């Protein structure tokens, strides 16, 4: 067993959450918080400087989001061990993070209970996904994904735009928009536009 503490970088745009993480880690003899960052760009800079053993990465942040930061860090440092900390349990959001290179996924409401174990497991080379998040992934594993254009249309629907306005913004015909909406409802199993937006937000396909 190594006597060196696990060196951790905490990335979140909320200082209160970073303070909470700092307090949790300070009480652990085998862990050390070596740096903090409040957005994806800072995370990349701090990783280059400190080369932490584990990164705790929020997803929704200003300037650069967590997924883009994970892609950049793993592109430069393929052995980086990253745990996503988020309020989002949606399967699409989880898949994006895992495909980008994250090795752990933890909901923020479970931090106090599961953070320390998750850090130790990921540092030891294991992957960690909570059971409820894993079941969400399994539930939608065979679903047909929305195309990039359909996601754009759904995002515009969530902003309260009618078909005519969506057509103008995307430089396509209103008939084409109607076709996209029909596909979106079918793929998501939604009853109407509002239901589609609710599903899209819950699954992490779009965010507000």
pLDDT at 96: 87
Which residues are CB-neighbours of 74 under 8 A, at least 6 positions away? 80, 82, 100, 101
Helix, strand, coil shares of the chain, percent, nearest 5, are 55, 15, 30
Give the tens place of pLDDT for each residue, 108-157: 988 888 999 999 999 999 999 988 888 888 888 788 889 999 999 999 99
pLDDT at 204: 84
| 26 confidence band (pLDDT: 50, 70, 90) | very high
* Start and end residues for every CATH 3.40.50.2300 domain found in the chain: 6-139
Q: Which of 4, 29, 14, 157 is nearest to 85 (CA)?
A: 14
pLDDT at 122: 97
Q: Which of 125, 130, 123, 181 is nearest to 151 (CA)?
A: 181
Comparison of pLDDT for 186 and 89, the residue scoring more: 186
Q: Which CATH number fits domain 6-139: 3.40.50.2300, 3.30.40.10, 3.50.50.60, 3.40.50.1000?
A: 3.40.50.2300
Q: Which CATH number fits domain 148-203: 2.130.10.10, 1.10.3720.10, 1.10.10.10, 2.40.110.20?
A: 1.10.10.10
pLDDT at 1 over 60: no
Only one residue has tokens 């497991």, namely 121
Give the tens place of pLDDT for each residue, 53-86: 999 999 989 889 999 999 999 999 999 999 999 8
pLDDT at 2: 53
pLDDT at 50: 97
Q: Which of 14-18, 116-120, 137-141, 189-193 has the lowest mean pLDDT?
A: 137-141
């Amino acid at each position: 067993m190594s006597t060196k503490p696990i060196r951790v970088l905490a990335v979140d745009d909320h200082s209160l959450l970073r303070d909470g993480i700092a307090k949790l880690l300070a009480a652990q003899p085998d862990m050390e918080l070596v740096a903090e960052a409040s957005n994806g760009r800072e995370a990349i800079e701090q990783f280059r400087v400190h080369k932490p053993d584990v990164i705790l990465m929020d997803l929704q942040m200003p300037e650069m989001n967590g997924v883009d930061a994970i892609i950049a860090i793993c592109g430069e440092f393929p052995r980086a061990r990253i745990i996503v900390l988020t309020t989002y349990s949606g399967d699409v959001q989880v898949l994006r993070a895992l495909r980008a290179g994250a090795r752990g996924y933890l909901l923020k409401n479970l931090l106090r209970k599961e953070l320390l174990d998750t850090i130790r497991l990921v540092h030891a080379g294991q992957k960690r996904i909570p059971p409820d998040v894993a079941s969400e992934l399994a539930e939608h594993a065979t679903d047909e994904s929305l195309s990039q254009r359909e996601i754009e249309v759904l995002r515009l629907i969530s902003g309260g735009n009618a078909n005519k306005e969506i057509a103008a913004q995307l430089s396509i015909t209103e008939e084409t928009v109607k076709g996209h909406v029909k596909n979106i409802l079918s793929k998501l199993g939604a009853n109407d536009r509002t239901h589609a937006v609710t599903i899209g937000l819950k699954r992490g396909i779009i965010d507000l």
